Structure 1
Amino acid sequence: MINYPNDSELLISVDKVSKKFCRNLKRSLLYGIQDICTELTGGNRHGDILRPQEFWALKDVSFQLRRGEALGLVGANGAGKSTLLRIISGLINPDTGTVKVRGKLAPLIALGAGFNPVLTGRENIYANMSILGLSTPEIEKRFDAVVDFAGIADAIDAPVQTYSSGMAARLGFACAVHIEPDVLLIDEVLAVGDINFRVKCYQRLAKLRESGTAFVLVSHNPHVVLNVCENSVYLAKGKLIKSGETEAVIRQYEEDVSLAGTDTALGMMFLPEKPESQSLGIDIVSLCFQDEHGNLLTSPLCGQLAYLSVECKAYKQVDNANLGVSITALSGQNERILYITSASDNEPLKILPGRVEIQMQMPYFCLLPGLYSAKIYIKEGVRSFDIVESFRFMVKAGKITSRSLFYQPRQWQVINHNNSKFKIQTLY
C-alpha cells in the first residue's frame, strides 16, 4: 500500500491491478515458495505471466475513489469483486499494478472473522478496534456506543464462542463503523441481523457518508447499489467491462445477464401444443409483450405502454377463467415484485374453444429497468388448466426513470392562496 503525499480528496487509486491464482493446491504452494525465494533474492517474479494451471482473478483493473463518494462493484459470482476488496484492504498483494490508499480504512468483508472465540465480547472489542487503528483511550470513549449499537449488552462479558453468528456479525459491524474510517469496504454484509438492526446500519452509514467517509460497496442487489452509489464498476471474469454512472453500469450488467440466457431473453416464448387427450382444457402456447399496434416488444420500456399477450389453445368453453401473473426480479434477491390476477380485478375471462389471445394492458409499465421472470397461470376456481413457471424478459429505460423499486406515474400541481389549481407537469 502506498499513502498519498498530496490531494486529500483522493482516497483510493487502483491502477492496472492484476491478480492470479492457481487451481491446483500443491502447485499453488510450490509457486508460493518460488515467489518468496525470488523476492528474497531480489529476482523478477514475472507477475504478468501465467504459469501452468494459473488464471487471472483480476486483470488490469483501474478506478479512483474520492472523499464522500460511494462506488459500487457489480458482477456475477467469480467476477473478482471480493478479490479486489482484499487487495485494497491489504490482505493480499496484487501481481501487477499499484493500489494507493490514504486515510483510515475499515474492511466490512467477513464480520466477526477476526474475533478470538475464547475472549469475551469486551476483550474482542478492544483487540479488534486496536487492530483497526484506535488507541485504548479512543476505544474507551466509543465502547458504550459499540455495545449499544450491536445490542449485546447482556452478553458482553461472555466468550464470543457462545454468541450466535448474528451476534458476532453485529459486533463486527459495530466495531468497524465506530472507528469513523475514511474508507469503508462493504462486501455483502448489510443483511446481518433483523430488520431493526439493518435500519441502524443504513442510518449509521448515511451519517458516515455525510462526514466524508467513502464507500466501496459489493452487492448482488442492484436496487441497493442504485440507491447508495453514484458510480459503479462492472467486473466479469476479472476484467473491467464498464465503469461510470451507476444506472448505466447496472443496465449493462443486467443486459449481459439476460443475453447469456436462453431465447426467452428475446421477449417471446413459444410452447408446444398438446394433443387434446393430454390437455386439461386450456393450454398456453405463446407469451410476449406488444405495443399498441400489436408489434412485438422484445424489451418493454419503463413508464411506457405495453401489453402482455398470452395466447392459448382452448378445447372447451370456460366462462370464468382467471389469469394470474407473478413477476420476480432476477437481478436482486429473487424477490416477488408484482402479483396480479384477473379475478382480483373482478375481470372474469370468457374463453371460447379455439385459439384465443388474452391481453393485459399496462399503460405505464411500472417495472424499473432490469431482468425479470414471470410465472403465468390460467385456471377456473381451484382447477388449474396450465402454468408457465418462468417467462424471462428485460425491461429497458424509457424517457423517465428513477432510483426506486418501481415507476410511479404522477402529476404535479401548485395551489395558490386563492385555491386555484395550476397544473405544472404530467409525467407518464
Structure 2
Amino acid sequence: MTDLIEKKISIQPPDDSEVVISVENVSKKFCRNLKQSLLYGVQDITTELFGVNRNSDVLRPKEFWALKDISFQLRRGEALALIGSNGAGKSTILRIISGLIKPDTGRVRVRGRIAPLIALGAGFNPILTGRENIYANMSILGLSTKEIEERFQDVIDFAEIADAIDAPVQTYSSGMAARLGFACAVHIEPDILLIDEVLAVGDIKFRMKCHRRLAKLRDNGTAFILVSHNPPAILNVCTSAVYISKGKLITTGDIDTVVRKYEEDLCLAGTEKSPGYLVLPEKSQNESTGIDITSVYFKDAQGNIVATPTSGEPISLCVECKAHRRVTNANLCITITDVGGENGRILYLTAANDNEYLEVLPGKNELQMYMPFCCLNPGVYNTKVFIKEGAYSFDAVESFRFTVKSNTITSQSLFYQPREWKVMN
C-alpha cells in the first residue's frame, strides 16, 4: 500500500513547456452583409486607434459567431485533428492561429515556427518560375538564403517537378502547384504545421510520401493540426481530435472517440422521430384477414427491447402479431431502405427464401428474424414488413423507421463486415 501511495504522489502534471499552441476562449464573429461588414471594419479600426473598448463580445445587427469560446492545446510532437461539417469554423481557427485574422475575444499563444498549409500554392506568384517561388515562399516562412539553397534540391525531388522548375508557375497544373507548396512547407522543418484539406494532392504514391514525411517530422518533434473530411487520413495521422459544430466546441479527446461522436452526429442528425418501436391499433374481427400485426421492435441478445440497434452487435427484428387461426407455412417478408441516402433498398429478406416457413398458432405470436451481426451502418432506415402465406398477404406495415448507431468507425464502408485478424507462421 505504501508503494502505491508513493507512486501516486510522484505523478506530475503535464509540462506546460511542451505546449506549442494554446487556444484560450477564442471567439470570432463575421457579418453576412458586405456593406455592413465594411462599415463595422471602419468602426473597429477607429475605436482601436483611440483606445476605446469596442465590445467585441457583443453581436451587432447581421453578425454571427463563426467561433464561440473555443479552447484547446497542442503539444510538441502531437498530431491533432480538427473535425466538423462544412461551416463549422475549422479553417477560421487555422487562420487565427497562423495570424491571418485576429480573434474578437480570447487569445492564442504560439511557441515556435509555424508553416501554414491552408491553401497550397496560394502564395505563389504565377509570373515567377517554380525556382523563384521556392526562394520567395521559403523566405517568407523564415529560412535564410543559405538554408534554402541547402534544401532546394530536396524540395524539387519531393515535389517531382524537376522538368518544370524553370517554367512560370502559371503554366503548372493545380496539382503541381499544390505539391510544390507542400514540399516548401515541410522542408523548412517547422515547429508547428497547419494543414487544411491538402493531403489529397497528387496520386496515391505522392500521398503516401506526404504521410511518411509527416511521420518523420512528428518524430523530430513537429506538432501539427490537420483539417480533413477524410476519416482514414485523420485516423492514419492524428492521435487526438477537436470536434467543432457551428462554431462551438462539442468534444475533445482521443481520435477514435471523437471521430465516432462526429460520425454518429453526422449520420443520425434529425433522427429524434425514429423511436424504433411501433405499436399498431388492434383490428376488429371483421377487419382482420387472419393474422394482424400489433407491434414491431428490436430485441438485443439478452432479450431486452432496444430502440436503436448497434452495428456489429446481435439483434432480432421482432414482429408481434395476433392470429385468429393456425397457419403452418407463414412467410415473414422484410424490406429495409436507407432514409434520405443514395443506396435505396438495402435488404430484402424473407423466411421463404431461406426455406424457413413459420408456424403461427391462434393467439399472440412473436415472429423473429435474428441477425448474429447487425450489418447496417449508422443511419436512419425504413422497414416494410409483410406476413404472407403463398401469394396471400395477411397484414403489412408500410413504414417502421429506426436508427442504427455504432461503437466503431464504419463511415468508409457500405455495411458492417464481421472479421478476424490473424498471422499464420
Matching residue of 1:371? 378
1:64 aligns with 2:70: no
Partners of 1:39 and 1:28 lie apart in 2 by: 16
What secondary structure sits across from 2:198 in the alignment? coil
Query: When the two structures are aligned, how many residues end up with a matched partner?
Result: 371
Matching residue of 1:179? 188
What secondary structure sits across from 2:95 in the alignment? helix
Partners of 1:197 and 1:55 lie apart in 2 by: 40
Among 176, 179, 182, which residue is 1:167 paired with? 176
Give the C-alpha shift of residue 125 in structure 1: 0.9
1:37 aligns with 2:46: yes
Matching residue of 1:117? 126
Cα deviation, 1:136-182, whole Å, max 9, x if unaligned, reads 11111111111111111111111111111111111111111111111
Report if aligned partners of 2:379, 2:403 keep a CA contact under 8 Å in 1.
yes
Q: How does 1:332-347 map to 2 (within 5 A)?
A: none
1:397 aligns with 2:404: no
What secondary structure sits across from 1:59 in the alignment? strand
Among 216, 227, 246, which residue is 1:207 paired with? 216
Q: How does 1:90-105 map to 2 (within 5 A)?
A: 90-105=99-114
Report if aligned partners of 1:186, 1:218 keep a CA contact under 8 Å in 2.
yes
Cα RMSD (Å) = 4.6
Among 74, 77, 96, which residue is 2:83 paired with? 74
What secondary structure sits across from 2:128 in the alignment? coil
Unaligned runs of at least 5 residues, structure 1: 1-5, 271-285, 312-321, 378-387, 416-428
Partners of 1:112 and 1:269 lie apart in 2 by: 56
Cα deviation, 1:249-296, whole Å, max 9, x if unaligned, reads 2233233334422468556899xxxxxxxxxxxxxxx99865457766
Give the C-alpha shift of residue 247 in structure 1: 2.5
Report if aligned partners of 2:307, 2:402 keep a CA contact under 8 Å in 1.
no
1:157 aligns with 2:162: no
Q: How does 1:104-143 map to 2 (within 5 A)?
A: 104-143=113-152
Summarize the Cα distance change of 1:413–1:18 in structure 2 as closer, same or farther, 3 Å threshold: closer
Structure 2 residue identity aligned to 1:16: N
Summarize the Cα distance change of 1:187–1:308 in structure 2 as closer, same or farther, 3 Å threshold: farther
Q: How does 1:41-52 map to 2 (within 5 A)?
A: 41-52=50-61
Give the C-alpha shift of residue 209 in structure 1: 1.2
Give the C-alpha shift of residue 404 in structure 1: 9.7
Matching residue of 2:363? none
Summarize the Cα distance change of 1:231–1:23 in structure 2 as closer, same or farther, 3 Å threshold: same
Matching residue of 1:248? 257
Q: How does 1:313-352 map to 2 (within 5 A)?
A: none
What secondary structure sits across from 2:120 in the alignment? coil
Report if aligned partners of 1:307, 1:362 keep a CA contact under 8 Å in 2.
yes
Report if aligned partners of 2:268, 2:379 keep a CA contact under 8 Å in 1.
no
Partners of 1:177 and 1:375 lie apart in 2 by: 48
Partners of 2:273 and 2:230 lie apart in 1 by: 22
1:306 aligns with 2:315: yes
Report if aligned partners of 1:258, 1:394 keep a CA contact under 8 Å in 2.
no
Summarize the Cα distance change of 1:375–1:147 in structure 2 as closer, same or farther, 3 Å threshold: farther
Give the C-alpha shift of residue 56 in structure 1: 0.8
Partners of 1:193 and 1:184 lie apart in 2 by: 19
Matching residue of 2:324? none
Report if aligned partners of 1:258, 1:265 keep a CA contact under 8 Å in 2.
no
Give the C-alpha shift of residue 189 in structure 1: 1.3
Report if aligned partners of 2:267, 2:379 keep a CA contact under 8 Å in 1.
no
Matching residue of 1:236? 245
Summarize the Cα distance change of 1:364–1:209 in structure 2 as closer, same or farther, 3 Å threshold: farther
Among 17, 23, 26, which residue is 1:14 paired with? 23
Report if aligned partners of 1:185, 1:216 keep a CA contact under 8 Å in 2.
yes
Structure 2 residue identity aligned to 1:211: N
Give the C-alpha shift of residue 246 in structure 1: 2.5
Partners of 1:158 and 1:375 lie apart in 2 by: 57
Among 395, 410, 417, which residue is 2:420 paired with? 410
Among all aligned residue pairs of Structure 1 and Structure 2, give the percentage whose two residues are the same amino acid. Answer: 61
Give the C-alpha shift of residue 309 in structure 1: 8.4
Report if aligned partners of 1:326, 1:375 keep a CA contact under 8 Å in 2.
yes
Partners of 2:382 and 2:205 lie apart in 1 by: 32
Partners of 1:288 and 1:223 lie apart in 2 by: 34
What secondary structure sits across from 2:378 in the alignment? strand
Matching residue of 2:204? 195
Partners of 1:151 and 1:269 lie apart in 2 by: 60
Report if aligned partners of 2:276, 2:402 keep a CA contact under 8 Å in 1.
yes
Unaligned runs of at least 5 residues, structure 2: 1-14, 280-294, 321-332, 361-365, 385-397
Normalising by structure 2, report the TM-score.
0.71
Higher CA-based Rg: 2
Cα deviation, 1:370-408, whole Å, max 9, x if unaligned, reads 73477999xxxxxxxxxx9xx88433227xx89997776
Report if aligned partners of 1:115, 1:160 keep a CA contact under 8 Å in 2.
yes
Partners of 1:358 and 1:112 lie apart in 2 by: 62
